[in-house]
Structure 1
Amino acid sequence: MFDSIGWVEILIIIVAGLFILGPERLPSAAAWVGKTVRQVRDYATGAREQLKQEMGPEFEQLRKPLEDLRELRNFDPKRAITKHLWDDDPAEKPNGHPAVPPSSAQSTRDRPLQQGERPPYDPDAT
């Protein structure tokens, strides 16, 4: 439920609630919000279970297009293209370079840089 809300936003909501409601009423308001969210979640779960019992096997046929829509909502073009292009050849890394054994890759990355030397380009560091 709170996938898109980070800790900073939650902290801002708590501070705003503290200023708006005051320290006396904030705990009771938070308890009410928690109870209401729990009740709504229980209603949704109960409705889904009742629908599943009444529809039987057709319920899964109804859920499949909804799951496809959820996947489209979380669509990341970069990840899809990378998976499509390099999924067939596990020896290739997504940045187009052949896979390097960890010992040689580690030795070039972990060595100290010489004066004036730039660190190697890492396309995954974005």
Structure 2
Amino acid sequence: MFESVGWGEILVLIVAGLFILGPERLPEAAAWLGKGMRKVRDFASGARQQLRDEMGPEFDDFRKPLEDLRQLRNFDPRRAVTQHLFDGDPDPLGLNGTSGGSTKPNGYPVVQSNPLPEPLKPGEKPPVDPDAT
């Protein structure tokens, strides 16, 4: 429920509560909040159990689409399109033979760049392209 709330946010809430409520009312407010959260959790689990009892085995059929929606959190559109277009072929264009068989983690071949030209020797003039000047 509080997956995205970290310790920093909790600390800020405690300090804000301390300033707003004061040190004498803060423990009562925290106890009230804890009891309220416990009631909400009990209501939710009771409703889930009642629904499971009334629906019987169809409850699992009802939950399957919800589980499928939860799996969409890990959805990677690039991987899905690649698998759909190339049917999971790791080398759809046959480029592994041209790049020495090495691939990047994303599946694309490693392209060897041209080596850098040798540096100029002392006293040597750099080449000039008259069309570029």
Range class of TM-score, shorter chain: 0.5 to 0.7
| 1:75 aligned residue | 74
The AA in structure 1 aligned to 2:42 is D
SS of the residue 2:22 aligns to: helix
CA drift of 1:2 comes to: 1.1
Structure 1 length as normaliser, TM-score? 0.61
In the alignment, is residue 18 of structure 1 matched against residue 18 of structure 2? yes
The whole-number CA distance in structure 1 between the counterparts of 2:6 and 2:51 is 33
1:88 Cα deviation from its structure 2 partner: 9.5
Distance 2:104 2:53 in 1: 45
Q: Which structure: greater helix fraction?
A: 1
Show the counterpart of 2:9.
9
Q: 1:94 to 1:39 in 2, by over 3 A?
A: farther
Partner residue, 2:29: 29
- Equivalent positions of 1:45-124 (< 5 A) are 45-72=45-72, 74-77=73-76, 81=79, 95=105
Coordinate RMSD, CA, aligned? 2.7
Q: Where do 5+ consecutive residues of structure 1 fail to align? A: 98-126
CA distance in 2, matches of 1:39, 1:18: 24
Report how many aligned residue pairs link the two structures: 91
Give 5+ residue unaligned stretches, structure 2.
91-102, 108-133
From the CA coordinates, give the structure whose radius of gyration is larger. 2
Report the Cα distance in structure 2 between the residues aligned to 1:6 and 1:23, rounded to whole angstroms.
23
- Provide the rounded CA distance (Å) in 2 between the counterparts of 1:13 and 1:58: 42
- Same amino acid, percent of matched pairs: 60
1:86-112 CA distance string (max 9 Å, x none): x999xxx98269xxxxxxxxxxxxxxx
